[in-house]
Amino acid sequence: MAPGALPGFRDFYPAEFAERAHLFAVWRDVARRFGFVEYDGPPLEPLELYTKKSGDEIVAQLYAFTDKGGREVALRPEMTPTLARMAAARANALRKPVRWFSIPQLFRYERQQRGRLREHFQLNMDILGEPGLAADAELIAAAIEIMRALGLTKEDVVAKISNRELLEAIWKHAGVKTEQFPAVYRIFDKAEPGKESVFKAKLEEVGISAASAAELVHWARGRRPQDFLSFSDSSAFVQQIEWVMGLELHLEALGILDWIEIDLSIVRGLAYYTGTVFELFDRKGEFRAICGGGRYDDLLEQIGGAAMPALGFGMGDVVLGEILRSRGLMPKAEPALDVWVAYGDDSKVQDAMNVARRLRARGRSVEYALGGQKLARQLKAADAAGARNAVILGKEDFAEGKATVKNLEDGKEMKVKLDQWIESQ
């Protein structure tokens, strides 16, 4: 028996490839409409590029090896380090702000589960060189516009937005010590809606007092800007409250405020985020996050050596495909062929080739039987190939410059002058 695909990897037969192509087309169209330009980098990078950002512990999650030149390398698990390296190489020459997007295939050696494989394609959209809040709103708007373009609505999807600086200000107000922040971040990152008692218990397990844990849980979910006004007597909160209110004004101007929830339980597990963070979810809670991202103002300098504020998001094809299929929004594949050229007997195969050549020159997709077949079998093959029309070259008709065109969708036939019909295509 021939070996199948490796665990966690996918074969893309034509039907699955058509779904992937649909996602890519929407991603590229929305990115273009928001003024982003496409880039790419190598799928194999120096291992140091990833350990520099995430530490040596990440190696266990990577497809990493020593190449024939003795270099320690890895298949890319994410795109941000490559982006940082590339941006740093031309930092002075780039027009700011940089609006770049990419659709890389990414690889991680980790446990498979629903919505997570060992390889996937991911849309990355990033804005570099702009520290202002408008960039945060613009990036969130792009993610939501993709949802709209795919047929999803605000009843299907919610964007949950948080801010690490505001979150840490609340933690300090509640008496959490700075050295406890990493443990609290890990707990927040894994907190599940509707399990507040478990959430609170885990906070207490890492040394947070019961009163402080209760306050953290209270402020974690479903907040509006005015909810934070009770902190306004503390200067530590002024800037963060202005962030919440300013972001909502921008999102309202962009027409997406009704897609948004302020949810301070969203922290994004990666330690490099510095401000705004957000994730998109289906409102039914059936799937993993659709996408996630935020601001990482220090990362480009850390990896590439170029000090530049930055923010971005990643949106994978696996979860998004599952949601679209569950909602009946994944379009069926279009017919693969415009025309099938059928012929009555083997003496007409070269005439079929000539007709196919002329139609292809006019941009039509065309197929014909490469081996001798009876006409009925050719028409059956045309239907199986998804052809819209079959042009039938009968011996007598062809001698008179005519042919029969059959619409394979409704079965209707018409006699045409072949040259005129080809020129009309």
Amino acid 406: pLDDT:
94
Q: The domain 14-326: what is its CATH number?
A: 3.30.930.10
Amino acid 168: pLDDT:
82
- What percent of the chain has pLDDT above 90? 57
Amino acid at 73: V
Instruction: Please compute, for residue 125, the number of CA atoms within 13 A of its CA located in the half-sphere on the CB side.
Output: 25
Amino acid 181: pLDDT:
84
Give the mean pLDDT of 239-254.
87
- What percent of the chain has pLDDT above 70? 94
Judged by average pLDDT, the poorest of 102-111, 139-148, 228-237, 389-398 is 228-237
Q: The domain 337-424: what is its CATH number?
A: 3.40.50.800
Amino acid 215: pLDDT:
79
Amino acid 47: pLDDT:
95
- How far is Cα 174 from Cα 172, in angstroms, rounded to an integer? 5
Amino acid 233: pLDDT:
58
* Residue that is written with structure tokens 């018409």 in the block: 414
Residue ranges of the chain that CATH labels 3.40.50.800? 337-424
Higher per-residue confidence, 304 vs 403: 403
Higher per-residue confidence, 130 vs 399: 130
Is residue 94 predicted with pLDDT exceeding 70?
yes
Amino acid 364: pLDDT:
95
Instruction: Please compute, for residue 47, the number of CA atoms within 13 A of its CA located in the half-sphere on the CB side.
Output: 18
The SS3 call for residue 102 is strand
Two structure tokens written together for 341:
């050229």
Q: Give per-residue pLDDT as tens, 44-90.
A: 999 999 888 777 778 889 999 999 999 999 999 999 999 999 998 99
Residue ranges of the chain that CATH labels 3.30.930.10? 14-326
Higher per-residue confidence, 98 vs 92: 98
- What ranges in 221-292 are assigned the alpha helix state H? 235-253
Query: Would you say 9 and 119 are in contact if contact means Cβ atoms under 8 Å apart?
Result: yes
Amino acid 223: pLDDT:
61
Q: Give per-residue pLDDT as tens, 248-296.
A: 999 999 999 999 998 888 887 666 788 899 999 999 888 989 999 999 9
Give the mean pLDDT of 208-224.
76
- How far is Cα 138 from Cα 237, in angstroms, rounded to an integer? 24
What does the chain come to in residues?
425
- Considering only CA atoms, which of 328, 313, 305 is closest in space to residue 278? 313
